[in-house]
Copies of this chain bind each other. A is one copy, B any other.
């Protein structure tokens, strides 16, 4: 993991049509295991629907760790990483009407054009002109500035007086836990639900599941610290699956009925198959985890169990609702934030977040000061 900065060559100034390229600092990926906090050209408006946002606060996602390992081959050498953050509008293209310079905005991890077939269906994750592209196919938010395409549909106004740091959790993690886990799982009042994985995403599902008042929330993980955090977040039952038989314990807790909803927030076959074993007849398995390989679906027993299994890349359609419920204090996203860094300490922040268990880290905040 090296931080050798690639020097940024200034392009020669040739007349009034071309202004001197401005530079900024950013965290740049240089192939598996290599990243650097370095100079990059400051982004400029390319399309009339673009906005340039000065980053105020950003964070690091588990996906960013995967990118750094080289697990996401679409991310190429030189890419600025990051898809979460809040900031201030620096400039907008002529086609942007919802925002103007100086507006405080929340950046969605999903870019939505608002006019393709998928966007019209509310499936922004599969936007023909966007989707997850920030810090992936285009430069991202772990930088002093970022260009946001289709700004009218991909940014959200921050209400005056809001706790902007808390709102960084609304770029990705809270809508992901909510939409992929809670909405897809169709959690409803009175339900008994299980969440497998008490990392940041599982905890986001835990927090947002309570919008629907389930009676019991069983949290399953192998890390006692994270389980203890889950307890303070509202879990009613804790199971450390490295110490006890999770299936047996869930079945005992549910009087052999199984759970109404099992939310998978890890992304490996074992945890998905655990969901298959504990879901009750008529129940839901809502997958949030990013899986690298196939799992065994036990249709020989499940075929007659009236179960529903869902997958989803977050659409961030719930962002406006989440903003309202943060403002009305139904949920406190600050609970997810454990560590703070300056944006310029991004490499150090990765070190901490990359050893989350040891550091007892959930989400880290990087502030552009």
Binding site for B on A (CB under 8 A): 48-49, 94-95, 97-98, 113-123, 125-126, 129, 152-153, 188-190, 210-213, 215-216, 236, 267, 272, 281-282, 287, 289-300, 302-313, 315, 317, 320-322, 324-325, 327-328, 330
Asked if B330 and A213 sit within 8 Å, CB to CB, the answer is yes
- The answer to whether A215 and B291 touch (CB under 8 A), given A48-B48, A123-B306, A190-B320, is no
Contact call B211/A212, Cβ cutoff below 8 A: yes
Instruction: State A311–B284 Cα separation when bound (angstroms).
Output: 11
Q: By the criterion CB–CB under 8 Å, are B282 and A123 in contact? A: yes
Contacts of A293 in B (CB 8 A): 299-300
CB atoms of A325 and B190 under 8 A apart: yes
Establish whether residues A294 and B300, one from each chain, have CB atoms under 8 Å apart when the complex forms: yes
Interface contact A330-B189, CB-CB below 8 Å: yes
Q: Is the CB of A119 within 8 A of B126?
A: no
Residue of A118, A119, A328 with highest tally of chain B CB at under 10 A: A328
Given A291-B300, A308-B310, check contact A212 B215 (CB 8 Å). no
Nearest residue, chain B, Cβ from A288: B303
- Select from chain B the residue with minimum beta-carbon distance to A315: B306
Asked whether, in the complex, the Cβ of A118 is within 8 Å of the Cβ of B281, the reply is yes
A114 interface neighbour in B119, B125, B292, B324, Cβ under 8 Å:
B119
